[in-house]
Amino acid sequence: MAYEYYPGTSLLHRLDPRTKIILFLYIIVLVMLIQDPVGMFTLLLIVISLYKIAGIPMSKVKSMLIALSPVIVLFVFLNIFISVPPNARIIGYLGSQPVAIESLIMGLTGGLRFTLFVFFARLLTMTTSISDLLVALTKLRMPVEAVVALGIAFSSVGVLINQLGTIKEAQMSRGSRVESRNPLVKAKALISVVVPGIYLTILRGLDIAKTVESRAFTYNPKGRTTRKTIKLTKTDYAVIIVAGMLTVIVAVVVYMFKILHYTYTFDYILSLLTA
């Protein structure tokens, strides 16, 4: 399920969605400033500990890490070709392409950064119900049509996944190799799943429009009641302020002392080993 909500009563669940959006912004700031993979990894561990606080099973975390590790490897691999900074330390060659330590480290940071984003974003959706999220967007002055459309889109994911499952079974029953290990064969076979999927999604779009009209959406959109309410509490303010202060402190330290330049830890370990 793409929008998974794990109901609970942890601190993260109780925070207003807007607070969580602000926390996300803090993370963005930190993630852009920190360059060293060790620093990034520390940040990732902090986010994972938030999962624990939110009461989300560690098995979920494990499966997410397993799913994302090929991505990290891909980042490292691709970065070999993307950037070789001047005065880089070359450790080998891939064909004619020099492989620099700096490229690998930068790639690692990039992969971890991506992983961190995914983890944090999913943490937010796992601890915020769709309706609360939508209310937050309304309060942030998003147009009501967009909010309703977003809500319907989220809710349709489950339906779509069911439909795709049925289509897959129907095609497998005609010999389509959608579960093949061979990526080329599988990709070709998936066309037979994607095409009906798109067709059905478009049809569903028409049905949704028909339903939305028949449930009086266009009666008076501006005068629409929002049933759920969200309120910023003392806890929210506390969290925003404390997290904000921490972010500023880390940002200042990193920026001023260039501690977390991307090869910082690597060089430090190297210096220890060669001392």
Partner 1 sequence: MSEQGDVVINIENLRYKYPGKEEYALDGINLKVRRGEIVLITGRSGAGKSTLCYTLNGLVPQFFGGTIEGKVSVLGYDTTKTPVGFMSSKVGILFSEPASQLISATVEDEVAFPLENLGLSVEEINRRVEEALRFVGMLEYRDKPPYTLSGGQQQAVALATVLAMKPEIYVLDEPTSALDPIGTLLILELFKKIAKTEKKTFIIVEHKLEEFSSIVDRVVVMDKGKIVAEGSPREVLGKKAEFLKKLGLESPQVSLFIQRLKEKLGINDDETPISIEEGVEWMKKHKKIIEEHLNPPSNRIDEANTPRNVGKKIIEVRDLVHIYPTTQTVALKGVSLDVYEGEMLAIIGHNGSGKTTLVKHFNGLLKPTKGYVKVYGRDTRTTPMYELIKLVGYVFQDPDKQIFSRRVYDELAFGPRNLGYTKEEVDRIVKDVAKTFGLDKYLNSTPFSLSRGDRQKVAIASILALNPKVLVVDEPTTGQDPTDRRIIMDLMKKLNKEGKTIVFITHDMNLVAEYASRVVVLHNGVKVMEGTPREIFSRVEELKKLKLKPPSITELFIRARDELSIDLPLPLTVDEALSYFK
| Piece in contact with partner 1 (CB under 8 A), picked from 18-26, 60-68, 174-182, 231-239 | 174-182
Within the chain, residue ranges assigned H as helices are 11-14, 17-33, 37-54, 58-82, 101-127, 130-139, 144-172, 183-214, 234-257, 264-274
The region of 43-51, 105-113, 126-134, 260-268 touching partner 1 under the rule CB under 8 A is 126-134
Q: Which residues lie across from 166 on neighbouring strands?
A: none
Q: What string marks each residue from 7 to 36 as x (binds partner 1 by CB under 8 A) or -? A: x-----------------------------
48 is a site residue for partner 1 (CB under 8 A): no
Q: Is 225 in the site for partner 1 (CB under 8 A)?
A: yes
78 binds partner 1 (CB under 8 A): no
**If binding is defined by CB under 8 A, does position 274 make contact with partner 1?**
no
Does residue 191 interact with partner 1 by CB under 8 A?
yes
| Residue 150 sits in the site that holds partner 1 (CB under 8 A) | no
Tell the smallest beta-carbon distance from residue 246 to partner 1 (Å): 33
Please tell me whether residue 6 adopts helix, strand or coil conformation: coil
Phi, psi (rounded to 5 degrees) for 141: 70, 30
Least Å distance, CB 150 to partner 1, is 11
The single residue among 54, 208, 243, 251 that binds partner 1, judged by CB under 8 A, is: 208
- Contacts for 134 with CB less than 8 Å, ≥ 6 apart: 147, 148, 150, 151
Q: Interface with partner 1 by CB under 8 A: which range of 33-41, 192-200, 233-241, 263-271? A: 192-200
From the number of C-beta atoms within 10 Å of its C-beta (0-12, 13-18, 19+), residue 225 rates as exposed
Q: How many residues bind partner 1 (CB under 8 A)?
A: 54
In one letter, which amino acid is 258? Answer: K
Phi-psi region of 126 (alpha: psi -120 to 50; beta: other; left: phi over 0): alpha
Distances (CA, A) of 74 to 79, 94, 114, 250: 8, 15, 11, 29
Shortest separation between residue 234's beta carbon and partner 1, angstroms = 24
Q: Give min distance, CB of 3 to partner 1, in A.
A: 8
Q: Count Cβ atoms below 10 Å from residue 263 Cβ, excluding itself.
A: 18
Residue 218 sits in the site that holds partner 1 (CB under 8 A): yes
Does 203 sit near partner 1 (CB under 8 A)?
A: yes
In order of 162, 184, 188, 194, 199, the CA distances from 176 in angstroms are: 19, 13, 9, 13, 19
Residue 201 makes contact with partner 1 by CB under 8 A:
no
Binding footprint of partner 1 on the chain (CB under 8 A): 7, 129-131, 151-152, 154-156, 158-159, 162-163, 166-167, 169-177, 191-193, 195-196, 199-200, 203-204, 207-221, 223-227, 229
